[in-house]
Amino acid sequence: MSNASFSRGYQALKAQIDAPIAAYFSSCVHCGLCAEACLFFTETRDPKYTPIHKLEPLRKVWEQEYTLVGKLKAWFGLSTPLHDQELADWQEFIYNSCTLCGRCSLVCPVGNDLSYMIRKEREGMVAAGHAPDGQISAAKRAITVGSPMGVKFPALQAQIKHIEKDTGFIVPVNQVGAEYMVTLSSMEIMNYPEYLEALARIFKHAGKTWTLCSEAFEATNTGIQIGSSDIARELVSRLVNAAERLQVKTLVSPECGHAYTAIRWEGANLMGKAFTFKVQHILEVLEELRQQGKLKTEGLETARMTFHDPCQLVRRGGVIDEPRNLLKTVAQNFVEMEDAGKMNWCCGAGGGVGAIEQAHELKTRVFQRKISQLDAIKVETVVTACANCRITLEEGFEAYNREMPVLGLTELIAQHLVEEPATENAHE
Amino acid sequence: MSTSLGAILREQYGVSRRDFLKFCSVLASSMAISPTFIPRIAEALEKTPRQSVIWLSFQECTGCTESLTRSNAPTLESLILEQISLDYHHTLQAAAGDAAERARDLAMKANQGKYLLIVDGSVPMGNSGYSTIAGISNVDALREVASGASAIIAVGTCAAFGGLPHANPNPTGAVSVSEIITDKPIINISGCPPIPVVITGVIAHLITFGVLPELDKLGRPLSFYGQNIHDRCYRRPFYEKGLFAEDFDDAGAKKGWCLYKLGCKGPVTYNACATLKWNDGVSFPIEAGHGCIGCSEPNFWDAGGFYRPLAVPTEGVAQLTQMAFAAGGALGIAAGVLNAKKRDHAIAERETVSIDDLKRKG
């Protein structure tokens, strides 16, 4: 294996330019609408954060390698070839100020999928060795240890023991033939163990069989964030192999945005084959159970609540109604933020931004958008369905001195379950 | 020559005061002048000494002169001609040879700087032998006579824009008056031929007001050439409804539908035919069932065929476009194949990224 180098990066960028990318660059009308869609522009008013500007290195490669105009420009000295320093300078735009939230893709009047392009551009950055250190370390841990935060199975086992003790339920591990295979994010194991407990209660309540897998409990995918299909493929394959071995019907993505994108939307393409099982986000599973009448809740939260939509769920996955239907069964004072649903504003630290140390100040600055959104509706509690959003919200509230509890929707549902199991369903 | 127009009208032609004023009204309305000017026109025409006019004919067909004489007695247009002193017009004058040329010399000397020069026909700039009068080439005659004129009226499309002699391939090198004379006021009365009342109207305007009428960018009086035929055409409603004659003997033609598709140039032709009409207001070409050929516009003879509709591309364009499309398509496919090869090569060359080569070493 050779080391990262500019020529490797350039080669990778060249290889990334497919028909959609060429069409997108050709059809860009330079209207600048994507700027107003980007959190990093609206909160800083700095034009360098305009999404299409973040794609300049990739655009240069496309123009100079694949178009006649670009070749003529180069011959006549009207453009300079891409150089290493340019890529290094662009790290700030390609990683630090882009959460791959996809809001720009939605507003583009000519339909350019800008977040798809940035995702592809990151492939070149990785090969050139310009990925941020924080993400490189996370990726290394994910591959070698099994989790980007370095969580190993024994840590999970300890949590399982706690839960079994608290609830009296068995938390199944490596159960062949279970209906659902549950996956987690390290964040949930370390910071929000209540998530796993909630799942145990819910599956018991609904009378569904489920399991964890000792070799593939971690669903987050640093390969997607850093922008390396090779690493992403390796991580996805662990989950796919486990699900196939355990012969489960459904692989459940945790409360995590990009983990869902990785396995649900990029997974099969990375593997180059169709899955033998279904992939659902936990919210999709819960909504399905609710519709089947297998999720009976009682009591209503009285606090004024809103729901923060994780970008990957609403904009990649279209999971918009599910959380609202679920939340309304347990909350009587549910209000929507402005731009809620598919145009919701990102928390500011998705797509790996949270792992980049140099991006910390910027990430806190752009959180102003979320603060204004929430101030406008005067809520007491924020509910979300992504552990990364959740930690970002908590850190953001602390930075802006706001007292605001943040809840995971799955736990909230679990708290309101009717105590005795739904006996009529148990016979099915 | 000093007898006034009014006196001559009464004494020699027995024209009543009433008829004379009627003529003045017609002139005023045809030139879109306020009715309050009618007495002024009458007064000017009555009192003005007869204006000396020298008429030079170059490469022309005499159609313009014919047009003017067709509006002859007893119509009042012809009277105007009687009232100017037409000192030289080689088609109409009685004198011939040296006597005729002498009449011109005398008129020029007697009215130096005051006479009006009317020209019909274009001037050949190639071999001067193409058109000479009394051994003098047209261009020399024009330059000499124009030097002492107060103003020049270029009658007909040949004098105004070069006309038919100027049409491709223009064997005589024909040009318009305004291409030779640049230091005198020139009024272009275009048309092949022009409407008689337009010629007489402009002369009356010059005699009455002593200044040039307002002109468009081609030097034509706006009062007659300000609107296009199409805008004032009585068949315009059919155009608006999309009812077109497709052939000269189809049902649409019989119903009097718009002649646009049969090549009518009304939409791009500026003239007064649709309002003043011809033969004392009897009719005009479109009313007679034929599209306008655009004769009052420059280069009308070379404008792509009298029967070809305005909006249809000229011949060969469709085929050329097809060829360009095919060539463009072939180039596009070739470029696409090359680009695909390049990308395949890049993909083949790409090395798998492992966690060990995320960072640069050394």
Residue B5's pLDDT is what? 67
The identity of residue A149, as a single letter, is M
Helix (H) or strand (E) segment spanning residue A239: helix A229-246
Tell me the three state secondary structure of residue B229.
coil
Specify the domain boundaries for CATH 3.40.50 within chain A.
305-415
Specify the domain boundaries for CATH 1.10.1060 within chain A.
6-131
User: Which residues does chain A have within 8 Å of residue B349's beta carbon, measured at their own beta carbons?
Assistant: 11, 15
Q: B153 φ, ψ to 5°?
A: -110, 120
Tell me the three state secondary structure of residue B249.
coil
CB A183 within 8 A of CB A147: no
- Report the 10 Å Cβ neighbour count for A223: 25
Cα B92 off chain centre by: 24
Share of chain B above pLDDT 90, in %: 55
Provide the CATH number for the domain formed by A305-415 in this structure.
Answer: 3.40.50
Least confident range of A148-162, A277-291, A367-381? A148-162
- What is the C-alpha separation between B89 and B57, in angstroms, rounded? 8
Contacts (Cβ under 8 Å, ≥6 apart) of A344: A308, A309, A311, A314, A337
pLDDT band for position B74 (cuts 50, 70, 90)? very low
* Neighbouring C-alpha atoms within 13 Å toward the C-beta of A83: 4
User: Which residues does chain B have within 8 Å of residue A129's beta carbon, measured at their own beta carbons?
Assistant: 357-360
CA angle B254, B259, B263 (to 5 degrees): 135
Which two tokens mark A313?
Answer: 């769920």
Across B308-333, average pLDDT: 85
Across A286-305, average pLDDT: 92
How close A83 comes to chain B (CA, Å)? 16
- Give residue B325's region: left, alpha or beta (phi > 0; psi -120 to 50): alpha
CB B318 within 8 A of CB B324: no
Each residue of A126-175: pLDDT tens digit? 999 999 999 999 999 999 888 888 888 898 999 999 999 988 888 999 99
Residue A363's pLDDT is what? 93
User: Which residues does chain A have within 8 Å of residue B357's beta carbon, measured at their own beta carbons?
Assistant: 1-4, 129
Least confident range of A423-427, B16-20, B35-39? A423-427
E strands in B95-164? 116-120, 123-124, 132-133, 136-137, 151-155
- Output the CA–CA distances (angstroms, integers) from residue A231 to A35, A44, A317, B55, in the order listed: 31, 33, 22, 96
Burial A351-380 (b: 16+ CB within 10 A, else e): bbbbbbeebbebbbebbbbbeebbeeeebe
Contact A136 B350 (CB under 8 A): no
How close B35 comes to chain A (CA, Å)? 58
How close B327 comes to chain A (CA, Å)? 16
Which two tokens mark B154?
Answer: 């270029």
Look at residues B249, B314, B271 and name the one whose alpha carbon lies nearest to residue B259.
B249
- What is the C-alpha separation between A394 and A396, in angstroms, rounded? 5
Across B317-330, average pLDDT: 90
Each residue of A99-108: pLDDT tens digit? 999 999 999 9
Which of B342, B345, B347, B353 to substitute to test the interface with A, most A CBs within 10 Å?
Answer: B353
Residue A228 confidence (pLDDT) above 50: yes
- What is the C-alpha separation between B18 and B16, in angstroms, rounded? 5
- What is the C-alpha separation between B111 and B129, in angstroms, rounded? 30
Residue A211 confidence (pLDDT) above 60: yes
Tell me the three state secondary structure of residue A184.
strand
Residue A354's pLDDT is what? 87
Contact A15 B346 (CB under 8 A): yes
pLDDT band for position B362 (cuts 50, 70, 90)? low
- For the entire predicted model, the pTM comes to 0.62
Higher pLDDT, A130 or B82: A130
Which ipTM score applies to this complex? 0.73
Residue B275's pLDDT is what? 92
Contact A4 B350 (CB under 8 A): no
CB A40 within 8 A of CB A98: yes
Least confident range of A78-87, A360-369, B84-93, B235-244? B84-93
Residue B75 confidence (pLDDT) above 80: no
Residue B93's pLDDT is what? 80
Mean pLDDT of chain B, nearest integer: 87
Contacts (Cβ under 8 Å, ≥6 apart) of A203: A180, A209, A210
Q: B75 φ, ψ to 5°?
A: -70, 160
Contact A8 B351 (CB under 8 A): yes
Contact B339 A1 (CB under 8 A): no
DSSP state of A307: E
Higher pLDDT, B37 or A418: A418
pLDDT band for position B78 (cuts 50, 70, 90)? low
A143: nearest CA partner in chain B: B355
Q: How many residues does chain A have?
A: 428
Helix (H) or strand (E) segment spanning residue A14: helix A6-16
CB A389 within 8 A of CB A173: no
Q: For residue A161, with 0-12 CB atoms within 10 Å meaning exposed, 13-18 middle and 19 or more buried, which class applies? A: exposed
The identity of residue A19, as a single letter, is A
Look at residues A349, A362, A392 and name the one whose alpha carbon lies nearest to residue A48.
A362
User: Which residues does chain B have within 8 Å of residue A231's beta carbon, measured at their own beta carbons?
Assistant: 353-355
**Which CATH class for the A6-131 domain?**
mainly alpha
Which residues of A fall below an 8 Å CB-CB distance to B?
1-5, 8, 11-12, 14-15, 17-18, 22, 65-66, 68, 126-127, 129, 131, 136, 139-140, 143-144, 226, 228, 230-231
Which two tokens mark A135?
Answer: 């993400």
pLDDT band for position B353 (cuts 50, 70, 90)? confident
Q: For residue B347, with 0-12 CB atoms within 10 Å meaning exposed, 13-18 middle and 19 or more buried, which class applies? A: middle
Residue in the structure block whose two tokens are 């706006």:
B222
Residue A61's pLDDT is what? 94
Q: Distance from first CA to last CA of chain A, Å, rounded?
A: 55
User: Which residues does chain B have within 8 Å of residue A226's beta carbon, measured at their own beta carbons?
Assistant: 358
Out of B339, B343, B358, whose CB is closest to A15?
A: B343
Which two tokens mark A88?
Answer: 């290094």
User: Which residues does chain A have within 8 Å of residue B358's beta carbon, measured at their own beta carbons?
Assistant: 4, 126, 129, 131, 136, 139-140, 226, 228
Q: For residue A5, with 0-12 CB atoms within 10 Å meaning exposed, 13-18 middle and 19 or more buried, which class applies? A: middle
Residue A146's pLDDT is what? 84
Residue B17 confidence (pLDDT) above 90: no
CB pairs under 8 A between A and B: 69
pLDDT band for position B314 (cuts 50, 70, 90)? low
User: Which residues does chain B have within 8 Å of residue A228's beta carbon, measured at their own beta carbons?
Assistant: 353, 358
CA angle A358, A361, A362 (to 5 degrees): 90
The identity of residue B134, as a single letter, is A
Contact B343 A228 (CB under 8 A): no
Going B134 to B140 to B142 to B144, the CA torsion angle's sign is: negative
Which of B349, B355, B357 to substitute to test the interface with A, most A CBs within 10 Å?
Answer: B355
Residue A112's pLDDT is what? 95
pLDDT band for position B315 (cuts 50, 70, 90)? low
pLDDT band for position A426 (cuts 50, 70, 90)? very low
Look at residues A98, A119, A118, A58 and name the one whose alpha carbon lies nearest to residue A262.
A119
Residue A420's pLDDT is what? 65
Residue B191 confidence (pLDDT) above 90: yes
Residue A250 confidence (pLDDT) above 90: yes
Across A312-339, average pLDDT: 93
Across A322-330, average pLDDT: 93
Burial A20-44 (b: 16+ CB within 10 A, else e): ebbebbeebeeeebbbebbbbbbbb
Residue B21's pLDDT is what? 80
- Report the 10 Å Cβ neighbour count for B319: 9
Mean pLDDT of chain A, nearest integer: 91
Across A324-352, average pLDDT: 92
Residue A425's pLDDT is what? 47
Each residue of B222-266: pLDDT tens digit? 999 999 999 999 999 999 999 999 999 999 999 999 999 999 999
Each residue of A40-89: pLDDT tens digit? 999 999 999 999 999 999 999 999 999 989 999 988 988 888 999 999 99
User: Which residues does chain B have within 8 Å of residue A18's beta carbon, measured at their own beta carbons?
Assistant: 343
